[in-house]
Amino acid sequence: MAGRRRAWRVGRVRVVALWLLPVTLGSLVACGGGRPETDTASADVRQLLDRRAAAVLAGDEPAYALTGARAEFTRLRALPLAAWSYRLTALRRTGGDGATADVELSYRVEGIDKAPVKAGRTLRLTERDDGKWYVDADKPARRTGQQLWDQGTVQAVRGAHSLVLGVGQPTESLRRYAGLADRAVPAVTQAWGGTWTKRVVVLVPKSLDGMAGLLGSPASAYRGIAAVTTGETGGSAKAPADRIIVNPEAYAVLGNFGKQVVLTHETTHVATRTATSAATPLWLSEGYADWVGYRSTGRTAVEAASELARAVASGDVPDALPEDADFGFDGDAGKLARAYEGGWLACRLIADRWGEVRLGEFYRAVGAHGTRAGAVEGAMAGVLGTTPGEFTVLWRDYLRAQLG
């Protein structure tokens, strides 16, 4: 699983935006202990999957039940779907009348996804006495994250600019998430501009374990992390919509202010996705998201950058802008906080000195370069009329002035 990990702190709670790149399933082949199935069986199973998909889209539970296990239908009934289909990639006999199918599920959420979300699934099948195949179980493929309905019955709450999908959460709680997201979207649009979808999808599982299940990772990797954003950096505007995945346990620790800043920060990553590439350093992508998150809050630099303020007050002014490695989770929470705060203040400096419009232009120019080498240098020269060395001097002076 490839991606870029990003973190941010509100108080003592870290927030991670993890951009996950899609896994290509077309190369899957039959393997394991079973023998490859015949073409006739494959054709029969494809027809089964087509009937199952048609029943989902039609909301036809009796037709769905005729294809086998029906728990999935009930669980995803609230999900507003524009498309739903399966592609069989491998079929294996497992002995007797049983078989296992590797399937690529493709679906689009209505009004949200411009392109299909694709997920690997493993189906357990039985050929009954009538000669027809039926689905006994439908699970995430190995090393693949769960879908929300794998964890229980999905509830949906639509906001003015958001769709909140939850499992095991009170409806009123989901409405509060929608309210936070609905305030975040206009705030991000005001800062970034109108060249994005201006809608967000928020997934709220029941627990930390549910969050980890959606991401296909151990729960220990996300303990204390309040939210994760999945998406494809540098991708087409027609890529599937990003999902903001909440850890309800960590999110509950935050006050109202922190909750709003978190959703605004994460929504910024959704808005800037197509302008973010391998050329974008983490100090810029995370710093910009923080800048938007704090932009209209009235918080001072000392209030929002307390760790860096303590360092500067003691005479420990950073020599250089944070490196990507400084944003890693190595157990040093203070170091991590200073990296994020340093990135935020770099973006704040650009907004103060060159203006907010130039800050957005600078972000886009860096991402458009495509590769890291020369990206920041070129954008600083072309947009800001400066050099990285000159900017670093200005940034260090700015830290002293704002935090000293």
* Residue 5 domain boundaries: 1-22+147-276
Q: Is the pLDDT of residue 39 over 70?
A: no
Say which range, 232-236, 359-363, 390-394, has the weakest mean pLDDT. Answer: 232-236
Looking at the structure, do residues 117 and 164 belong to the same domain, yes or no? no
The number of beta carbons lying within 10 Å of the beta carbon of residue 13 is 20
Say which range, 46-50, 195-199, 308-312, has the weakest mean pLDDT. Answer: 195-199
Domain boundary among 77, 108, 143: 143
Identity of residue 194: G
Looking at the structure, do residues 85 and 218 belong to the same domain, yes or no? no
Q: Domain count for the chain, please give it.
A: 3
Quick check: is 103 in a domain?
A: yes
**Binning pLDDT at 50, 70 and 90, where does residue 137 land?**
very high
Looking at the structure, do residues 350 and 386 belong to the same domain, yes or no? yes
Q: CA geometry: angle at 115 spanning 110 and 120, to 5°?
A: 100
Kindly state the average pLDDT of the residues 16-38. Answer: 38
Domain boundary among 234, 260, 276: 276
Domain boundary among 227, 252, 276: 276
Q: What's the pLDDT score for residue 200?
A: 96
Looking at the structure, do residues 117 and 161 belong to the same domain, yes or no? no
Looking at the structure, do residues 170 and 126 belong to the same domain, yes or no? no
Q: Phi first, then psi: give them for residue 355, nearest 5 degrees.
A: 105, 155
- The rounded distance, in Å, linking the Cα atoms of 258 and 11 is 8
Looking at the structure, do residues 194 and 328 belong to the same domain, yes or no? no
Radius of gyration of the chain (CA): 24
- The rounded distance, in Å, linking the Cα atoms of 57 and 109 is 11
Looking at the structure, do residues 163 and 103 belong to the same domain, yes or no? no
Q: What's the pLDDT score for residue 350?
A: 98
- The rounded distance, in Å, linking the Cα atoms of 268 and 291 is 10
DSSP state of 357: H
Q: What's the pLDDT score for residue 9?
A: 43
Contact call for residues 296 and 275 (beta carbons, < 8 A): no
% of the chain with per-residue pLDDT over 90 = 80
Looking at the structure, do residues 270 and 122 belong to the same domain, yes or no? no
Q: Is the pLDDT of residue 23 over 60?
A: no
Q: What's the pLDDT score for residue 237?
A: 62
Looking at the structure, do residues 403 and 294 belong to the same domain, yes or no? yes
Quick check: is 186 in a domain?
A: yes
Looking at the structure, do residues 188 and 229 belong to the same domain, yes or no? yes
Q: Is the pLDDT of residue 275 over 90?
A: yes
CATH number of the domain to which 57 belongs: 3.10.450.50
Quick check: is 34 in a domain?
A: no
Q: How far is CA 120 from CA 153, 154, 205, 219, 357, in A?
A: 20, 20, 20, 21, 42
Contact call for residues 214 and 145 (beta carbons, < 8 A): yes
Q: How far is CA 352 from CA 57, 291, 347, 349, in A?
A: 51, 11, 9, 5
**Token couple for 211:** 């969050």
Walk across the sheet containing 200-204 and list its strands. Answer: 154-158, 162-167, 200-204, 243-246, 227-230
Looking at the structure, do residues 152 and 228 belong to the same domain, yes or no? yes
For residue range 317-374, list pLDDT tens digits in order. 999 999 999 988 666 788 989 999 999 999 999 999 999 999 999 999 999 998 999 9
Burial class from Cβ neighbours inside 10 Å (0-12, 13-18, 19+) for residue 231 reads buried
Looking at the structure, do residues 327 and 394 belong to the same domain, yes or no? yes
Give the global pTM.
0.87
